[in-house]
Each structure stands twice: as C-alpha cells, then as structure tokens.
Structure 1
Amino acid sequence: MNNTKLVGSAMALALLGGTLAGCSGGGEAPKAGEAPKAGEAPKTTEKKEDRALHIMAGVIGGKTPEENTLFEKEIERLTGIKTKLDKPASDYDQKLLAAIASGEKFDLLQVSKEKMNLFIEQGILTDLSAQVKGSKTLQDPDVLPTDEWNQVKTKDGKIYGVFTKYQGGTMPIVRNDWLKKLNLQEPKTLDDYYKVLKAFTEQDPDGNGKKDTYGLSIAGSYELQGFFSAAGLKQRYVEKDGKLDVPYSTDAAIPVYEWLNKLYKEGILDPNFATNDTGKMRNLFLADRVGMITYWDAWVGMLNNTRKQQDAKTTFEAKGLPGAVGPNGNYMLRRGDPDVWVVPVNAEHPKTAFEFIEWWHSKDGIVLGSMGIKDNDYTEKDGKYELTKAGQEHAMDHGVPFWYNKKFPNPFGLLPGVKDAQDLLAKYSSLELTPPKWADAEKIINEYMFKAILGEMPAADAVHKMRDQLKAQKLID
C-alpha cells in the first residue's frame, strides 16, 4: 500500500472517529431507572452553532504570515465570523493530508478537484447538494453559470465542492519582446517552436553578450499540453466507450517526446526542468534567462505586472500562445480542474462554513480574494478603489485572480495580456478528466517521460514501458 493510501485511511478513520464522537451527545438520556414521560419528546442539548471557522487553504489568504493574520481579521470584520486560517508556505497537499490524518478538525478546506474526488471516495466530505440547490446566491447564473456545476458534480449528480474562483487554463507563454527583437514570427508547428526556442538560446535575446539563456523552461511534466497538441493528444485521462486511457502513453506521443529530447540534447531546454518547481520556472522567465514557459493564463498578466512594477520603462512582454497546431488543423489547450471549498464530515461549524462559501461569491468576498485587505492592499472611497504599493505587488491575487460573478466587474480591468490569453482558452481549451487514481498514474508517466526527454531510454521504449505499467496497475483499461 502506498503512502497516499495509508494517509487516506488514517484521514478516514480520524474523520469518522470525530463524527461518531459528535453523535454520542445528540440528546439527553433519561436518568437511571427513569423512563421518558408518555407523549413527551426526548430533550436535546443541541446548542446554537458558534460563528467561527477553522480553514486550511493553499493559495487563499495573505502573502506573508503577518498578512495572513490581517486576512483572518478582515474576514471577521466583514462577516462577523471568527476565523483561524492555516496557509502553509509550501507543500500544501502533504501538510493538508498530514494535518487531517493527525485528527485536526477543519470546517473548510480549499482543495483541487482531484483531491475532492479522492476525499469523496474515502467518505470524508459532506454532501452539499441540498444546500447548493437551495441557495439563492449559488443558483444565480450571474454569480455562478449553471453549466459550470457539471465540472464538480459526481456521476450520480451530487455536489461536494463549491468553486473558490474561476479557474483558467494553461498554455505556452512567450517573451513576445524577444520575438520582435529577433524578427521571429509566432510559432505554429513543432518545427516553428524548435526554431524560435533555438534562436532564444543562441542569439543573445537579452543583449548581455553572453550565452546564458534557454529557449524553454518547464516545471517537471506540469504542463505540456500545448506541445502534445501537435499530436492531437489530451493531457491526463480520456474516456471512450466507458474505458479510461492516458493519451501520453500511446504511440502517437512518441514524436513529441523525441522533440523534447532534441531540445534537451541541444541545450535549448532548461537542464533543471525535472526538478524545477513553478516558482523557479517563473523566476527564470522574469530574470531574462528563458524565452518561454508553460503556465496559467492569469500569469501572463502577473508576469507583465511584476516587471512593470520593477521598471516602468521595461520592454518586457509576456504573451500567451495556443500551442502547436494538430493533425486536424486545430489547437488543443487545457482548462484546469477547479479548486473548490469542501466541508469535512467532522466540521464543527458546518452551517457557518456554508454561509462563508455563499459570502465568498459576494462583492465583499471577491474583493478580499482578489484585491486583498482594506488599508493594506487597497483603499476605497465612494466606491472607488486604489491599490496601495503592497496591493500593486500582490497583483490582485489573494487566491482569486478571476471570478464568476458578473454583478461585480473588475474595477481595474484585466492585467496586460490576460484578455488575449483567455480568448485563446475560450477557443481552444477543454476540461481535464482527473479520476481519483490520477496521482498513481502520474508517477508512472513522469518516470518514463523524464527517461525519454533526458535520453536515458528511446522514446518508443519509454512509452511502451509506461503503458505496460499503467495496465499492470489497472490504471488504464
């Protein structure tokens, strides 16, 4: 049994234990030898739920521990709910699993759809279907579009999670100013991408007279959909005739792995790609060390904003691209699985938790999740908002860079480059299929993907080994 399953079993036991313990005091038992009076309902000791919350979140909250404390106070100021917010600085998923397995109780968790599916399978989440259906706020199509609920519904139509934000998608992001400087056209095919990335590596795009740039940096296998688009292959799982498959493990993927290996062998791909996290990748891009990364549409604007804050006269320009054109003449980007609020079955304040979820999609909730904390990140007078220096650095993102609610448009508009990136996603992206067993499949995919890219194994052999192991572990049908 792997660590994830061990931790999952511990979590389920911890949460189940808390639930059973909570049920033991549901009513006042008769005293020894004393029966309830005829026709008299049993007395209960149920007390009114405190308006308090214990929340654990990965990206929602302040940017520093000190600002996290201000974030808690701002929630209380705006809602009257006394809040404790746990926001680990790193390794969120591991710390979340460990905290729950240890028996720590939470009222709300911010999790990915993948984790939500895992927790549903383990029976440790509260079914919110009835509350969502009865919520005037959440059923308002101007607050949350009706069709979006299909993203989070289970096969039997139940809802366990409610969106924390509008989730965008991923794509190649290029230094458009470098394209212009080197008189290069936007790439369309994998061959085009190779020529552009090679030029970024060899033609001194940063102008410092040194060969110290890479064409492409990625964070492991985090986001390669834009390149596998050339083979018409979807990231993660696809389902056909009721059977699950992983397109990256098929023979059609071999040419893409060979293309990536070519970039690695020629020094065009950042050699540390396999151990990069997304922060290292972004920092290379911001530091003029790499000409292209693969990341979220929101970051097109945040990258541009970051450099603008550092130097108002900068020529830096990040731009989203649709990836490589496929065999059918179309592009294939991915729209990411949504992050959601979920309520554990042993939550001590479940009613308050749902009240908070509804509030999160109101104007005040959106302002907090995007702009941040009043008088710290922004000031407001007569309905007009102004970002402070800290707010400008935080780029309108305290966990909610984009939101659904049409009743509150972004008072500052979108950051540079974001609208064009979102338009590409609207045209070319589709949702991922991420069943609970994805984490097990991903380990196998990464192992052989890296062997192929690093040249430790011919791409064809790596793909066949990958597929054999996925089948052996019953991760594909």
Structure 2
Amino acid sequence: MKTFLTANLSVLAAALMVSTAMGADLRILTAVTGGKDAAEHEQFVAELEKHLGLDIEMVKPASDYNNVLFTSLASGERYDLIYGDSKMLPGLVEQGALTDVTDLVAASAVLSDETAIPAGEWQLFDIEGRKWAVPNKFEGGTLPTIRQDWLEESGMETPVTLDDWTAFFKWAKDNKDAYGLSTSKLYDIQGFMSAEGVKAGYVLVDGKRTIPYATPAAAAVYDWFGMLSKEGLLDPNFVTNGSGEFRNLFMTDRVAAVTYWDAWVGLFNNIMATDHPDSSFEAKGVAGVPGPDGEIILRRGDASLWMIPANAEHPENAIKFLEFWHSEPGYVLGTLGIEGVDYNKTADGKYELTEQGQAHGMDHGSPRVASTTWENPFPPLPGVDEAQAIIMEHATMEYLPAEWTEAAPIVEKHAFQAMLGEVTGAEAVEAMHAELLAAGLIDE
C-alpha cells in the first residue's frame, strides 16, 4: 500500500514523480473520498485493495486540491482516476485531458444500470451526447429552509408567495424578536428570484450570453429584499456572512428562515435534537416561489465526478473501482466507512456505528449515493427525504462559464445596494447591466 500524501504543492509534485515509478495498479487523485485523517486514509485504501485485489495509491491532498489537480495534469503526471466536478469538465474535455468513457460505461453492467446511476444524473454533465465522467455521489441542491415549529405556532400555512414569506417574517420579528431571513451574499436567493422566473448565473438566449439577475425581471425581487431590509426582516450581515454565521442564527432562535443545502435540513434537526433535546426546534425545506408561469426554479449542486485522464495507464482498473463504488460494498464504504473502524456488524447482521463512525457522520466521500434501490442501514435524518424530493422536482444546475468569476462581483455590488434599500431594483439592474455589457461579460 502506498503512502498518503499531504504535502504542500511543491513537495507533492516531487513526491508524485517518485511515486509514479512505484507501479501501482491503480492511481487515484481524490479530494473528498477516503479517510478523514491520514491514519484512517491508509485504512480506507487497505479496504479498497481488499475489495478490488489491486495495489492502490490514493492521493488526497490536504489542501489546494484544484491547484494540485491542474498542476499534475499540466505536468503530464499519470493517474488512472481523478476527482472533479461538472464545472471543470468542459475545459478538460476541450484540452483533450480526459478519456471518453461512453463506450466503457455502455459495456459495464453496473455503470449502465439506471437503478445504480439514473439517466437524470448523467444528463447533469452530458456533453453532446457523450460521457466524459462517472458520478461520484448524489448531489443535492439549495432551497429555503424554515423554522417549521415557528410556522405551526404562528398558525400560518407554508409560504408560497413573496407576500406569504413577508407575513411570516413579520410574525417572527414581532413574536420571536428574530430576523425573518438570513443568507450569505446572493447564496442562495434563487428560491425567491423564482417569483419572477429569474435564474442565477448565465443563461444563453439564441446563443447570446445573458445574466437574468441583471435584467428588469429581477428588479421587483430586489425591491422586495429592499423592503425586508427597511423593515428589519433581513439579516443586514448577509453581505458578509459565511454559511456558519447564518447556520448559527438559525439554531439559536435568531432567524426564521435560511437558504441552504437540502441535506442540512436533516443536519439542523439532528444537531438540535442531540444538543438540545428539550427544544421544539424543527427545520423544514420549502419549495421556492412559483414564477409567472407557475414554475419553481431552484439550484442543483454541481455534479461531483470521477474522470479517467487521457494518459491513464490502467483505465480498466479505474472502471473496476467505479463498478465497486456503485455497488453495495462501495456504498457502505463511501457512507459508513470501514468495518471495525467506523462501524461493526452484530451477529444478526445489523450495523452499529463506533464513536469514530458517529463523529465521521457517515460520510467517506459519498454520503448520499446515486442508487435508487440501495437503502442506507441507518434511516435518513429528519426532513431530508422531503427536501430532496423538492430539489429533484424543481432544481437545475447553473451555467457558470469562466467569465462568471469576473461577472459575479459586478452582480453582487449592484444587487446588494438594492437589497439593502439603498437604490431601487430598477436602478440596480440598469447599472449592473451597463457595467456587464461594457466589460464584455454579456452579449445583450
């Protein structure tokens, strides 16, 4: 078994060149899959070797994963499998850095099984009908998440319109001395922008780049946020918040709703039930606001992927790993972890998490699998299934090409001014659109 590399970028590059000569049957570069620390990672790799019958090197950089990945690829470093996401896929394909796995998937009884990997998961990163990667896990999405116990106490129904949300936020302020809503910057106001049929990121219209958040349709929702600010219903620190800040507000009775990942509905409930068993706290995921056509727009997370580099030495072993990863033993390893370390099995075949396993949260790279048939031995956390169903019905991925990194600060600058009530929504989108157009970041 090869060593677990956690060096900085320069040391890692040298180490990789040496390790290439070791002749592993399978070399993997990973960001999230594996052990939670160096010691457990070696145990994780040993478990993989036992299942696959291969000599495996699984490199998991301690930090700067994307830098390590792109530096390794640019230097010609050879891996059989690399971890990435759907945002980076088009660029890697264009550069000729990846293997087209369409035929390899079709030839695999496991990978082509739509109960193991549903057709909808492949469609998330389809490039002109070809497959250039294989899903790592099920990726959820973000949605408004409400204090359901407060909603029930208020006697109100689940909010549907922006007016419904405003009424609940006012109730929370008057009765709980809490903000109505907290978020982090524009992450993620999509569920409310849905009210005007506006989608985040770029949208191509007849081949031309547009940013719907910079169009007149978005102005009314910015004005709604501005009204929330003026009435003390929106956490004013949303401009600088990280996710930790609004999570803390939510779990300490200081805000009635946040916008976050579907999985966190269950995590909120589990944390509060564990740490504060006498609390009435209950979080619930809520669908966004229907737009003029009745449709709801939510955000699906970027697909996390396994890719086979074009210079892979053992692509057949990469496929062997992927078939294992999408089978029951792989599901158990990717979720619960390692038998005897993270969990034990009783005489009657039941699973019991160890103290370490509980601390690791049943996440060793694939906390939620793509399979539609496998059932985790432990029940889902409260509220997760319902939130996930909302995401599956309404969420799509955003289109964020390279120029989004330049466009996003412009969008945020003007959007924040409107959301804080400093300018009108119309003024914000006019200035935003003009600046984006002048910078060549949109086409119309």
Q: 2:408 is matched with which residue: 442, 457, 460?
A: 442
What's the offset of the Cα at 1:93?
Answer: 4.5
Gap regions ≥5 residues in structure 2:
1-12
State the one-letter code of the partner of 1:464.
E
Match of 1:126 among 83, 88, 99: 99
Aligned to 1:7: none
In the alignment, structure 1 residue 175 sits paired with structure 2 residue 155: no
CA contact (8 A) 1:170 1:335 kept: yes
- TM-aligned CA distance change 1:106 to 1:259, over 3 Å: farther
| 2: CA distance, partners of 1:104 / 1:178 | 55
What is the DSSP-based 3-state SS (H/G/I as helix, E as strand, rest coil) of the residue aligned with 1:165? coil
Matched, 1:51 2:17: no
Q: How far apart are the structure 2 equivalents of 1:425 and 1:293? A: 16
User: Aligned partners of 1:143, 1:422: CA distance in 2, in Å?
Assistant: 18
Change (3 A) 1:264 1:398: farther
Once residues 140 and 236 of structure 1 are traced to their aligned partners in structure 2, the CA distance between those partners, rounded to angstroms, is: 33
What is residue 112 of structure 1 aligned with on the other side? Answer: 85
Q: How has the CA–CA distance of structure 1 residues 49 and 70 changed in structure 2, closer, same or farther, with 3 Å as cutoff?
A: closer
**Share of identical aligned residues, percent?**
43
Q: What's the counterpart of residue 264 of structure 2?
A: 299
Contact between 1:117 and 1:435, CA under 8 Å: does it hold in 2?
no
Q: Check 1:128–1:66 CA distance in 2 against 1; reply closer, same or farther (3 A cut).
A: same
Counterpart of 1:32? none
Match of 1:191 in 2: 163
Deviations 1:437-476 (A, max 9, x none): 4434333323332233234544323212322333344443
Contact 1:76–1:83 (CA<8 Å) still a contact in 2?
no
Structure 2 counterpart SS, 1:340: strand
Q: TM-score, normalised by structure 1?
A: 0.79
Range with greater deviation from structure 2 (285-294 or 424-433): 424-433
Amino acid at match of 2:427: D
| Cα gap change, 1:252 to 1:308, in 2 (>3 Å) | same
Aligned to 1:162: 134
Q: Distance in 1 between matches of 2:385 and 2:435?
A: 41
The 8 Å contact of residues 88 and 95 in structure 1, kept in 2 or not, is answered as: no
Contact 2:194/2:291 (CA < 8 Å) preserved in 1? yes
**Equivalent residue for 1:374, pick from 300, 315, 339:** 339
Instruction: Assess, with a 3 A threshold, how the Cα gap between structure 1 residues 439 and 77 changes in structure 2: closer, same or farther.
Output: farther
Closer, same or farther: CA 354–465 of 1 in aligned 2, 3 Å: farther
- Structure 1 residue runs of 5 or longer lacking an equivalent are 1-13, 23-46, 205-210
Distance 1:122 1:466 in 2: 33
Q: CA deviation at 1:202?
A: 4.0
Counterpart selection for 1:86 from 60, 66, 69: 60
Structure 2 counterpart of 1:231: 196
Considering only aligned residues, what root-mean-square deviation do their CA atoms show, in Å? 3.1
- What's the offset of the Cα at 1:148? 3.2
Q: Which amino acid aligns with 2:171?
A: A
Q: For residue 418 of structure 1, report the CA deviation from its aligned partner.
A: 1.5
Cα gap change, 1:199 to 1:70, in 2 (>3 Å):
farther
Q: 1:401 aligns with which of 364, 367, 379?
A: 367
- 2:386 counterpart of 1:420: yes
2:181 is matched with which residue? 216
Q: How does 1:61-100 map to 2 (within 5 A)?
A: 61-64=34-37, 66-79=39-52, 80-88=54-62, 93=66, 96-97=69-70
What does residue 246 of structure 1 align with? 211
- Tell me: CA distance 1:130–1:386, structure 2 relative to 1, closer, same or farther (3 Å): same
Q: Which moved more, 1:314-323 or 1:74-83?
A: 74-83
The one-letter code sitting in structure 2 at the alignment partner of 1:133 is: A
Q: Deviations over 1:297-316 (max 9, x none)?
A: 12211221222232444422
- Offset at 1:367? 1.1
Which SS does the other structure have where 2:114 is aligned? coil
Q: Describe the shift of the 1:249–1:404 C-alpha distance in structure 2 as closer, same or farther (beyond 3 A).
A: same
| CA-CA distance at 1:97 after TM superposition | 4.9
Residue matched to 1:267: 232
Partner of 1:5: none
1:135 equivalent in alignment to 2:108: yes
Equivalent position amino acid for 1:117 in 2: P
1:270–1:391: structure 2 CA closer, same or farther, 3 Å change rule? farther
Q: How does 1:30-41 map to 2 (within 5 A)?
A: none
Query: Could you tell me whether the CA contact under 8 Å between 1:306 and 1:393 is conserved in 2?
Result: no
Map of 1:152 onto structure 2: 125
Distance verdict in 2 for CA 1:158–1:328, change over 3 Å: closer
Shift of 1:215: 2.3
Distance 1:88 1:447 in 2: 33
Amino acid at match of 1:423: A
CA–CA distance in structure 1, aligned partners of residues 395 and 303 of structure 2: 14
* Contact 1:115–1:436, Cα closer than 8 Å, also in 2: no
